[in-house]
Amino acid sequence: MTTYSPLQKNILASDVPIIVGVSGGADSLCLLGFLYEKGYSLIVAHFDHQLRPESGEGVKFVESIAKIFNLPFVSESDDVAAYAKKHKQTIEEAARNLRYRFLFSQARKHKAQALAVGHTADDQVETVLMHFLRGAGLSGLKGMDAHVILPTFDAEIPLIRPILNLWRADTVAYCAAHDLHPHEDPSNASDEFFRNRLRHNLIPKLEKYNPRFREILQRTSHALSGDHALLAELIHSTWQQITLKENPNYISFDLLAFAKLSPALIRNLIKEAVGRLRPGQIDISFSTLDRAARFISLPDSAQRIDLASGVLLFRETDYLYFVDGEENLPLDSFPQVGKESLSLKLPCEINLGAGWVLKGKITETASMLKNADPFQVTFDADLFGENLVLRPRRTGEKFHPFGMDGKSMKLSDFLINAKLPRRARDGYPLLCADDETIWVPGFRLAHCVRVTESTRRFASFTLKKM
């Protein structure tokens, strides 16, 4: 019997429980018998989908099998059809979600080292073909993994598929040889489900073109799995190089470094980012990935796009953000002030929060006059009076930017032209003398306080993120 590599490598302990998902069919009975022969500590688990009036018979059958093997038995039932309707899922999706939710809950409860399910090579072929027909990239076409973590259900306990290299005919033969009599679910014969239609109709037709079709597709999935592993290494190393910050709400990247990558790598990093923000919840399409990749690579496109299901992609100055809802996007890259004005007396040092600190002083030299840092500025100290305040913008106010010969413009237009993100504008700090804005930190000072040849006293300000 061909076995699954983690069992061959003895990565599983013989004395720590394994939850075995048993439906009663030949595949799951073969799985149970195989693990039992290997001497593992097992707990038999069965989920009743309530899709047929007689589904309770399956529960009793699997319980009887557990007694034959002298193993613990756990079960649960739920109305899959009602769940599917409520959550707008297909029956197949709902059944999988409820079944895995139960199985992993039992794995946690019993401190199991793994959850084992009876997927076979036939299931692998059907899965790959299903992904191909629906449209999938490398991660879909490689099929199922023999050992995988499903964060949606459990971030630590692995799902294992010990008989993934066996064909369904092998499991039937195993059951016959060991006097096990499978209890097949009648729904497996129904063409109502997409997978069953592939199994009963499409695959037999494809085998007329090539009798070895299933074997070839299985071999292809093995090859693509190796390619996917290589790609995963590249994604991981690149991720480490360009990621600036990651938390459950958003992930930020170095935009320039991201945009220089190849389109294929960009698409895979986008998929990885969405997967980390919404583990297992969003099946993002190639067209969406391609649209996002073009957004990142084209500097003159919009500032943000909606990716899928509330996950947004933002581009701001040198940062690229993937964020789960706009309200979670961080503001610490931009200085912010409250609604009330802050009076300033020079010298001063004001902590604005999030690490931003404003410092101001009077000097007799213009040491910072030629500084290229837009967050440092030098004024003529005799031109702005005594009433200095730091405050947010006001509706309709004007600004007289240096370099426009005293001409004014709407402050809102100036901030737009300066490409300050909309979400940062309302709380952005302005240095004002009386009611007039004399400095927009990071962008421009006002024409009226510029240093000239007649300037004798200088005021310098620095706004820094410490």
Range of 102-116, 250-264, 312-326 with top mean pLDDT: 102-116
Asked which of 4-8, 131-135, 221-225, 232-236 is least confident by mean pLDDT, the reply is 4-8
Per CATH, which fold does 5-209 belong to? Rossmann fold (3.40.50)
For 222-244, what is each residue's pLDDT tens digit? 999 999 889 999 999 999 999 99
Asked which of 2-6, 235-239, 398-402, 407-411 is least confident by mean pLDDT, the reply is 2-6
For 182-203, what is each residue's pLDDT tens digit? 987 777 667 777 888 999 999 9
pLDDT reported for residue 385:
76
Arithmetic mean of pLDDT over the chain: 88
**Residue 392 CB-half CA count within 13 A:** 15
Map residue 19 onto helix, strand or coil: strand
pLDDT reported for residue 29:
97
Name the band, by pLDDT with cuts 50, 70 and 90, for residue 5.
very low
pLDDT reported for residue 90:
84
- Domain extents in the chain: 5-209, 235-328, 342-465
Per CATH, which fold does 235-328 belong to? 3.30.465
Percent of the chain with pLDDT over 90: 54
pLDDT reported for residue 4:
43
pLDDT reported for residue 281:
65
pLDDT reported for residue 8:
46
Q: Comparing 370 with 209, which gets the higher pLDDT?
A: 209
pLDDT reported for residue 89:
82
Q: Can you tell me the distance from the alpha carbon of 173 to that of 42, in angstroms, rounded to the nearest whole number?
A: 23
Give me the long-range contacts of 305-308 (CB less than 8 A, separation at least 24). 307/270, 307/274, 308/274, 308/282, 308/284
Name the band, by pLDDT with cuts 50, 70 and 90, for residue 317.
confident
- Where would I find the H helices in 38-90? 56-68, 80-86
pLDDT reported for residue 134:
80
The mean per-residue pLDDT over the stretch 147-172 comes to 93
Is the predicted pLDDT of residue 9 greater than 70, yes or no? no
End-to-end CA distance of the chain: 64
Q: Can you tell me the distance from the alpha carbon of 308 to that of 283, in angstroms, rounded to the nearest whole number?
A: 9
pLDDT reported for residue 277:
87
Q: Comparing 416 with 118, which gets the higher pLDDT?
A: 118
pLDDT reported for residue 438:
93
How open is the CA angle 97-100-103, to the nearest 5 degrees?
A: 150
Architecture of domain 342-465: 3-Layer(bba) Sandwich (3.50)
Q: Can you tell me the distance from the alpha carbon of 291 to that of 313, in angstroms, rounded to the nearest whole number?
A: 11
How open is the CA angle 14-16-21, to the nearest 5 degrees?
A: 95
pLDDT reported for residue 367:
64
The mean per-residue pLDDT over the stretch 31-42 comes to 96
pLDDT reported for residue 3:
44
The mean per-residue pLDDT over the stretch 264-268 comes to 92
Q: Comparing 314 with 27, which gets the higher pLDDT?
A: 27
pLDDT reported for residue 1:
42
- The answer to whether the beta carbons of residues 6 and 12 sit under 8 Å apart is yes
The mean per-residue pLDDT over the stretch 258-287 comes to 85
Q: Please give the structure tokens belonging to residue 158.
A: 């692995």
Name the band, by pLDDT with cuts 50, 70 and 90, for residue 411.
very high
Is the predicted pLDDT of residue 376 greater than 50, yes or no? yes
Q: Can you tell me the distance from the alpha carbon of 396 to that of 419, in angstroms, rounded to the nearest whole number?
A: 18
Q: 324-360 in b/e burial notation, b at 16+ Cβ within 10 A? A: beeeebeeebbbbbeeeeeebeeeeeeebeeebebeb
